[in-house]
A = this chain, B = another copy of it.
Amino acid sequence: MAGLFHRRLRLRTLHAGEERPTPSPTAAPERRPFSRVTPEDMAFFSKIIPGRTITDPDILEASNMDWLKSVRGFSEVLLRPQTTEEVSQILGYCNSRNLAVSPQGGNTGLVGGSVPVYDEIILSTALMNNILNFDSVSGILSCQAGCVLESLSLYLEDKDYIMPLDLGAKGSCHIGGNVATNAGGLRLLRYGSLRGTVLGLEVVLADGRVLDCLATLRKDNTGYDLKQLFIGSEGTLGVITAVTILCPRKPKAVNVAFLGCESFEQLLQTFQLCRGMLGEILSAFEFLDRECMRLLNTHLKLANPITDCPFYIVIETSGSNPTHDEEKLHQFLEEAMTSSQVIDGTVATEEAKIKALWSLRERVTEALTHDGFTYKYDISLPVERIYQLVTDMREHLGDRAKSVVGYGHVGDGNLHLNITSPTKDPNLLASIEPFVYEWTARFQGSISAEHGLGLKKRNYIYYSKASLAVALMGNIKIMLDPKGILNPYKTLPDDLQ
């Protein structure tokens, strides 16, 4: 008790005259009684990672704010370790001092999971960006957690391999963050989720102990698969410091088709046809609706390469034999056109045109940011239901919303539903939520397919998970991080924080 009082007292002295930070826009629970960082703490950190303890307000501003500029923390300390040992020492110290820590990768998350809420210390993986090993026989890559996804892709390209995941934020996101959030993205249809491709992890636990599960084996059935706990746990159970991942061979041929459909039903028929005829070379089946195209035209001046349609599809094939792949693609397109499932379309085999077609899908998020304040939902549903939610939401909101758009990963049953308004609008939000979550729960969907829960969605977990499951998550959190110092206020609902 004396210790606690002492810490509070010291904190008051340190922050005398300062205003108490306003809680972040998304209602967060009350600040928990973590210690505040003292000059003695700073001295300790400076000893461990000299020159890499940042207190410059400008740098901190960028690290406190999320990519969407929708949530903001008030951290005054950013730490940039380079090694696992440094992370271990930092966490061991923070745990003993009851200092909260917000781990941060590329800070490209969409649910407020990657920034502090109050004054948590930001622990960045930015300087942990070494490739540790690549085995060109097995395709197994080992690297530190702070490697940028695109850098890894470029590194592998020379070696005739690719990363098993790809996503819009690839230029900034860190592989450690990808794993911590179980990122999905554009290649999941083909190469499966990170739960299958991540072979090993090194994780520093809340108390600083280093958990070495950094296997480089495709198969290992010796006990429980602990690394799975950390995949998708959003930094709340440990800090991932290194990753081993199984990389597929670089395909010898890539083709992209951009097609238009009259209805979502036709789009689904096209998907079925495509899975049958393209089979093992199908590597993406993505869609966007007419509203998305309108935003791409208006805000990014991107032209529609085909006739105006209610729905657009991006199909990618990748395979080992260019002639075979083109033949399969052409047979499929002929069938799709003949049966009138598809109205119009264009195909690309050259890299520049492939990129241009992909950008119509990849830059929807960016176009939305120009349209106004965006309410983002990332929903998993049985594939035949995914667009019904957009239609119902449009009808439900009427002219209260500026735009209601749907796009996403048809192949994975994953809809990105986005709703914009000229400015932030609590009344609009009240019309969207819990409507969207109730709708999703009615069809046994997931209220977060790939974005995670972070700060913003934590309290909606019960729409997708049974109470017993959530209670067990709480037990796991207590087991691995008894003081709750790791990424507080995230993932778990308030009743378990």
Contact = CB atoms under 8 A, between A and B. Distances in A.
A413 B218 contact: yes
A279 B137 contact: no
A413 B195 CA distance: 19
Contacts of A278: 320
Contacts of A231: 225
A382 B226 contact: no
Contacts of A104: none
Contact of A224 (B218, B237, B324, B381): B237
Interface in A447-465: 447-453, 457, 461, 464-465
Task: Give 3 nearest A-B pairs by CB, closest first.
Answer: A279-B320, A196-B196, A228-B228
A92 to B, nearest CB: 14
Contacts of A237: 224
Interface centre among A137, A222, A383, A479 (most CB of B within 10 A): A222
B320 A224 contact: no
Contact of A320 (B225, B251, B277, B447): B277
A414 B221 CA distance: 11
B211 A473 contact: no
Contact of A249 (B275, B412, B470): B275
A233 interface: yes
Interface in A162-199: 181-182, 184, 188, 192-193, 195-197
A275 B252 CA distance: 12
Contact of A324 (B209, B327, B466): B327
A497 to B, nearest CB: 13
B450 A221 contact: yes
Nearest to A449: B219
Contacts of A197: 192, 196
Contacts of A220: 380, 446, 448-449, 464
A188 B324 CA distance: 25
Contacts of A229: 224-225, 228-229
- Give the number of times this chain occurs in the complex, counting copies: 2
A445 interface: yes
A97 interface: no
Contacts of A221: 181-182, 184, 232, 446, 448-453
B137 A219 contact: no
B465 A414 contact: no
B138 A472 contact: no
A242 interface: no
Contact of A468 (B212, B216, B414, B445): B212
A197 to B, nearest CB: 8
A475 interface: yes
Interface string A31-71: 00000000000000000000000000000000000000000
Contact of A461 (B222, B225, B320): B222
A447 B223 CA distance: 11
Contacts of A223: 232, 453, 461, 465, 469-470, 473, 491-492
Contacts of A409: 219
A276 B192 contact: no
Given A211-B469, A321-B279, A324-B328, A412 B195 contact: no
Given A181-B221, A212-B469, A219-B409, 12 more contacts: A137-B268, A137-B383, A193-B196, A196-B196, A209-B468, A219-B449, A222-B448, A222-B465, A224-B237, A224-B473, A224-B476, A479-B479
B276 A138 contact: no
A272 interface: yes
A223 B223 CA distance: 22
A355 to B, nearest CB: 23
Interface centre among A217, A225, A272, A384 (most CB of B within 10 A): A217
